[in-house]
Every structure is written in C-alpha cells, then in structure tokens.
Amino acid sequence: MVEYSKQVIDHFMSPRNVGEIKDADGIGEVGNPTCGDMMTFYIKVKDHKLEDIKFKTFGCGAAIAVSSMVSELAMGKTLDEALSITNKDVAQKLGGLPKNKMHCSNLGADALHKAIQDYKQKNEK
C-alpha cells in the first residue's frame, strides 16, 4: 500500500507518546482538518529539558508517523536541542516520505517548536 517506508509503517501502526498532558507546560498546534492534517503537541519541562511529550494527530499515515517520530527524537532533550530538530530531520529518520506528503504532513517539528514557544512565553511573564 502506497510508498511508505518500514519506519513510517512502524510508527503509524504503533505510535509512541499518543495522548494529552492535562497540566502541560506548553501546547503547540499546527495545521487544520480542512487541509487534511492537524497536530497538537503537549510538553512537560523540567530543568530546561523535555520531561514528557504527548501528541494528538488528525491525518494520514505520514502525519501520524511524523508526530510519533518527533516525540521520540525530542524526548529528554534540552529545549535548544529540541528547537534544532527540523521537519527535514524527521523525514530523514523515517526513511523518507512520499513527495506529495512532504509539505502537508511533515509538520511535526513545527508543532513541537510551537509548544516550546508557548512554554517560553508563559514563563517569561
């Protein structure tokens, strides 16, 4: 079925870190259901490190796999390290994504970065 890599299928079938964090320190949302993909990331931060990450995603197989991979890559990392993860890195780690999925579905890093920005804004006040 469609041209997904083994890694994409693995992360799609058994996504890591699905869910919500009730008392999240930061929340980031990208996309919208009209265009086909929407991702919400929740983070817990301790000593400038991502202590926990959870996500919820509406979208295709690629969108779910991307979300799962981002959460795995960023878990336990410092905020700066997490901010340096790019959408391209995520696609690479997944063994590549079909061309027509690169733009619409590959937004996981953006969603995570937004959650970190949200945390930073809240803590600057």
Partner 1 sequence: MHHTIFFDNASSTRTDARVFEKMKPFFMQKYGNPSSLHDMGQEAKDAIEEARDRGAALLGVAAQEIYFTSCGTESNNFALWGLAKSLQDKGKHIISSSIEHISILNPLKELKKQGWDYTLLPVDSFGMVNPEDLAKEIRKDTVLISIMHANNEVGTIQNLKTLAKIASEKDITFHSDGIAAAGIIPMDLKDLGVDAYSISSQQMYGPKGAGAVYVQKGHRLKPYLLGGTQERGRRAGTENVPAIVGFGEAAKLAAEEMHIHAAHITGLRDAFIKGIMDQIKNVKLNGHPQKRLPGNVHISFEYIEGESILLLLNMEGIAAASGSSCASQALKNSQVLLSMGLTPTTAQGSILFSLGKFNTMQEVDRVLEVLPAIIDKLRKMSPLYKEE
| Chain residues that interact with partner 1, rule: CB under 8 A | 1-2, 4, 12-13, 15, 18, 29, 33-34, 36-40, 56-61, 63-64, 100, 104
3-state SS, residue 14: coil
Task: Answer left, alpha or beta for residue 70, where phi above 0 means left and psi between -120 and 50 means alpha.
Answer: alpha
- The residues annotated as belonging to the active site are 35, 104
Rg over alpha carbons for the chain, rounded to the nearest Å, is: 14
Of 44 and 49, the one with the shorter C-beta distance to partner 1 is 44
Q: What is the dihedral of CA 108, 109, 113, 119, to 10 degrees?
A: 50
By C-alpha distance, which of 33, 88, 37 is closest to 63? 37
Alpha carbons 42 and 28: distance in angstroms, whole number: 7
